[in-house]
């Protein structure tokens, strides 16, 4: 397994782990009656600041993950795997791993810096695939 694919697997596991933590807190706060419903109506009360931030971090990771998947596929398909693309892939994973708690704790500007690191790592991989 290439380093880029291994990093992609870890990024997906991070997303699943974030979903698990989010589900636990959302169920505690909103109750399973609402979380298991079709959600046609708004919940009776809002999520706490912590859980709402965790939800936004989870949703934001989908945006970055879609581009990261494209970058990994491009690198793998082009055969342009290198130490640079491996480093970029792991930089993405580490940045996203740090991004979730930074977002939840409201660490400004660090969550934006970490988002930028992940995006730049993805761009490095995409450009490497073009060479």
- Average pLDDT for runs of 10 along the chain of length 131: 98 98 94 79 86 96 96 98 98 98 96 97 98 84
Domain boundaries along the sequence of the chain: 3-130
Decide yes or no: CATH 1.20.120.550 for domain 3-130: yes
Question: What is the predicted pLDDT for the residue at 131?
Answer: 84
Residue 33's pLDDT is: 79
Query: What is each CA distance from 95 to 42, 44, 48, 72, 129, in whole angstroms?
Result: 33, 35, 25, 16, 21
State how far the Cα of 18 lies from the Cα of 108, in Å rounded to an integer.
20
């Amino acid at each position: 397994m290439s380093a880029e694919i291994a990093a992609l697997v870890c990024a997906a596991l991070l997303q699943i782990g974030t979903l698990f933590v989010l589900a636990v807190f959302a169920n505690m706060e909103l109750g399973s009656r609402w979380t298991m419903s079709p959600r046609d109506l708004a919940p009776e009360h809002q999520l706490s600041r912590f859980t709402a931030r965790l939800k936004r971090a989870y949703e934001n990771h989908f945006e970055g993950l879609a581009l990261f998947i494209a970058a990994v596929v491009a690198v793998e398909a082009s055969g342009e795997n290198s130490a640079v693309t491996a480093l970029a892939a792991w930089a993405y994973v580490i940045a996203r791993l740090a991004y979730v708690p930074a977002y939840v704790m409201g660490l400004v500007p660090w969550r934006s810096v970490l988002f930028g690191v992940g995006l730049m790592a993805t761009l490095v991989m995409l450009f490497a695939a073009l060479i």
